[in-house]
Amino acid sequence: MNNEKNNTITEQELARSNDIIQKLNQYYQDRIVGQKNLGVALLTSLMAGGHILLESVPGLAKTTAAKVMTDALAGSFSRIQCTPDLLPSDIIGTQIFNYSNNTFETKTGPVFANFVLLDEINRSSAKTQSAMLEAMQERQVTIGGKIYPLPEVFIVIATQNPIEQEGTYVLAEAQLDRFLLKEKVQYPTVEEEVEILNRLEKDVFSNTDSILRIEDITFLQEMTKKVYIDDSIKRYIANIVLATRYPHNYIHSSLADYINLGASTRATIAFMECSKAIALMMGRTYVTPDDVKYLRYSVLRHRISLNFSALADNVSVEQIIDAIVGVIPTP
């Protein structure tokens, strides 16, 4: 009984959560025009404490949006521009020999921050990309055989350009799977583009004062974990993920044949964590099936591997996801 009581969100906690969410949303909307899905995905990653991968052609404010979200919080921020010659030690740190006392001293890298922006992650080599695996999954790094824990609030926001292939390295499936979400950033409409110009004239981006503390995000993450999710919703999530692994049992072979590899258990966990965050954003303390569906593309698009036939036939992973979700009975 005591555990159930402790896991229940009180009215005061819900009110504070709503206040924090509203402030973050307003801060984002004041500085970013449109891109609602991107804002929701970034806020979800903050609330769930997961990492997020942003993908689009250059110049669509991926880096700006990531920086805006982190500017709102009084936490530490690091930006790493990935290049082919970037070394693992440039990210996690290294040991430097001190000639004055004949000892090695550990110099930690920029990964030791609350928010780490990995700009154009696919431009770094596979060796450097793999250096982030331990940090992203275990929230710790090893330097000189010694383990160094990362901050309690640690979120990687990575960006990549899917168009340019020269000087890029495709992210391994193991690393892609460690991103809670993958969000694709779309072109703005004409009206939105005009509004961008208006805001640039007004210099709205010059104000980067923080409106929240890192403790507010810690509180929001604790409340997200407390959101109630019924066993029927958990089974609904598990059935969706199962259908990605055995698509021929669920969807027509004309679509199932395009799937090379289904989603892992990390997708199941991501669905649960993200649906809790969406529910809290909506002002609720419990998860509904619509909360699960809300970020279905962002949760699954980097976890379902399609074959070359899908590319040749211009079949998108979003079509596959809609087909799978559409055949799973809603509780």
pTM, two decimals, is 0.85
CA distances to 96, 111, 112, 142 from 105, in Å: 5, 18, 16, 14
pLDDT in tens, 12-45: 989 999 999 998 888 888 777 777 888 888 889 9
Q: Are residues 71 and 169 in the same domain?
A: yes
Q: Are residues 55 and 152 in the same domain?
A: yes
pLDDT of residue 49 exceeding 80? yes
Q: Are residues 62 and 191 in the same domain?
A: yes
Percent pLDDT > 70 in the chain is: 93
The closest of 195, 189, 217, 322 to 280, measured between CA atoms, is 217
Rg of the chain's alpha carbons, rounded to an integer? 21
- Residue 130 is part of a domain; what is its CATH number? 3.40.50.300
Q: What are the residues facing 53 on neighbouring strands?
A: 158, 182
CB 145 within 8 A of CB 134: no
Residue 109 located in a structural domain: yes
The three-state secondary structure class of 163 is: coil
pLDDT of residue 169 exceeding 70? no
Q: Are residues 151 and 241 in the same domain?
A: no
The total of structural domains in the chain comes to 2
pLDDT in tens, 261-314: 889 899 999 999 999 999 999 999 999 999 999 999 999 999 998 888 888 888
Residue 166 located in a structural domain: yes
pLDDT in tens, 50-74: 899 888 777 666 777 777 777 888 7
Q: Which helix (H) or strand (E) is 115 found in, with range?
A: strand 115-119
Residue span of the structural domain in which 257 resides: 228-331
Buried-state track 169-196, b at ≥16 Cβ within 10 A, e below 16: bebeeebbbbbbbbbbbeebeeeeeeee
Residue 18 located in a structural domain: no
Q: Are residues 52 and 198 in the same domain?
A: yes
- Residue 311 is part of a domain; what is its CATH number? 1.10.8.80
Q: Are residues 309 and 174 in the same domain?
A: no
